[in-house]
Amino acid sequence: MGDSVAVTLWVQPGARSTRVGGRHETALVVKVRARALEGAANRAVLKAVADALDRRPRDVTLERGATSRLKVVRVAGPADEILERLAILFEKD
């Protein structure tokens, strides 16, 4: 698979708008408009994370937490670039 980074997410489905940024304990906060029905929120989370990290949607895969607010995704790509973007996102409010 090459370089990749596992990222823990705290997901808030049904939010007013889709947004990636901030921290919930040690997890990156991802708010999505999609509701948690039939995988819609999970798909929206993967797309939002890919967009926020400037990666292709296929570079972000769900590893754990399909039915939980606490999720782990794997982001494929150069680890140093991904970690740099994550540091910025964690500091957003």
Domains of the chain, by residue range, sit at 4-91
Confidence band, pLDDT 50/70/90 cuts, at residue 1: very low
**According to the model, what pLDDT value does residue 51 have?**
98
Q: What is the CATH code of the structural domain delimited by 4-91?
A: 3.30.1200.10
Q: Is the pLDDT of residue 93 over 80?
A: no
pLDDT tens digit string along 15-32?
A: 999 999 999 999 999 999
Q: Dig out the tokens for 46 from the structure.
A: 């993967």
pLDDT tens digit string along 53-69?
A: 999 999 999 999 999 99
Confidence band, pLDDT 50/70/90 cuts, at residue 2: low
- 78: Cβ contacts below 8 Å, ≥ 6 apart: 3
- Enter the pTM of the model: 0.94
Confidence band, pLDDT 50/70/90 cuts, at residue 92: confident
